[in-house]
Structure 1
Amino acid sequence: MRLYIWRHPKPIAVEGICIGQTDVGVDRRKLKRLAHRIERFVRRHQLPKVIWVSPLQRSLKVGKILAQRGFACHVAPELAEIDFGEWDGRPWEQIAKQEIDDWCNNFAHFAPDNGESLQQLFDRVKEWLNKVSTESDHTPILAVGHAGWINAAKILAAGHEVPKIAADWPASVAYRECSYLTLSGI
């Protein structure tokens, strides 16, 4: 299965904030630009007009714009960014250094209070990828997602395990950038 996944546009006023499932806004022009980019890509490559999005507005609103342009838009909670729990929406500087140290010392399995661990994110990503690959009948999947989710999917597609140390976590894909993954037997 082939997955084309674009990272959502840059949210408004999130510098220095821990953003996972916090539902932050995005400038409407940036949402339209990404929708237009996806629409051109689909037309150029003669792909089905079907898009998968997360329920977070920075992804969902791109899907809604595409739906107005004739796309079938599917909302998948599994596509949401990692849940940082009590950290979500807080400035990084307000999160206790000891908590961040605990995360770094148990990178794959630590979860902030009421949040999810990296291992749980990977399990969610893997489950969704397996589900859509089974249902896709070899049709490419198009999606709008989030940096952490995309990194997890790339790591899984490469056949690697959840990183055990923070230094092994890759840099985030750029806003509105498309990642192409070939998935088989994840």
Structure 2
Amino acid sequence: MEIYLVRHTETICEKGICYGQSDVNIAEPFDEIFDRIISELPSEAIIFSSPLKRCSILAKHIQKNIKTISYKEDDRLKEMNFGDWELKNWNEIPPEQLNSWMEDFVNIPVLNGESFTALHKRVGDFLAEQISQKIQEAIIIVAHAGIIRSILCHQTSLPLKEAFQNKVDFGQVIKIKY
């Protein structure tokens, strides 16, 4: 089956802000970018989206512009939970916390947040439940860079510590065979 992984477009957050599961809006104008994204997608698909508005706005636009077999928002597609770091500038995070996490982001959770392993597990649960059903139709997943990197790790068996080898730009569409 073909899966189209779509990262949301740029947000209104300034560069350097940690905004994982914070429900921030997308930057406008976005119509031209949305049209380009749609041109890279199949004309008919099942759509899954993170419920965070930076994804759901794009997913609902896609839903209106292609033949949609079904549309579902799933909490397991939310970006990494950065806990106490949400909406803080990366430079404001205490260095002892940040450095410890940077050395092992795979296993060390952010204070009151989660680790990349926890994110990867919920993505795996989503894939097992929603994608492993021998679906023949194309699937579009509108999500975040962390989620897309996790899916690519599931797909290629890339170790989680190497996940950032997968560059995922704002508004990028990545097509995979699953």
Instruction: Indicate whether the TM-score tops 0.5.
Output: yes
Which whole-Å CA distance do the structure 2 matches of 1:64 and 1:140 have between them? 17
Deviation at 1:171, TM superposition (A): 5.3
When you count strand as a share of all residues, which structure comes out higher? Answer: 2
Give, in angstroms, the shift of residue 174 of structure 1: 1.1
Residue 37 (structure 2) pairs with residue 41 (structure 1): no
Percent of pairs with identical residues: 25
Q: Which consecutive aligned stretches of 4+ in structure 1 deviate over 6 angstroms post-superposition?
A: none
- For residues 106-160 of structure 1, the C-alpha deviation after alignment (integer angstroms, 9 at most, x for no partner) is 3211111221111001111111122222335232211211111111111221112
- Report the AA paired with residue 110 of structure 2: P
Aligned residue pairs: how many?
A: 176
TM-score with structure 2 length normalisation? Answer: 0.87
Distance in 2, matches of 1:78 and 1:178, equals 20
The structure-2 alpha-carbon separation of the partners of 1:139 and 1:89, relative to structure 1 and needing over 3 Å to count, comes to same
Cα distance in structure 2, aligned partners of 1:119 and 1:172: 19
**What one-letter code is carried by the residue in structure 1 that aligns with 2:60?**
K
So what's the TM-score if we normalise by structure 1? 0.83
Q: 1:66 Cα shift?
A: 3.0
CA distance in 2, matches of 1:61, 1:140: 20
Cα distance in 1 between the residues matched to 2:152 and 2:166:
12
How far the C-alpha of 1:76 sits from its partner, in A, is 1.1
Change (3 A) 1:19 1:48: same
RMSD: 2.1
Unaligned 5+ segments in structure 1 are: none
In 2 relative to 1, CA 27–4 (structure 1 residues): closer, same or farther, beyond 3 Å? same
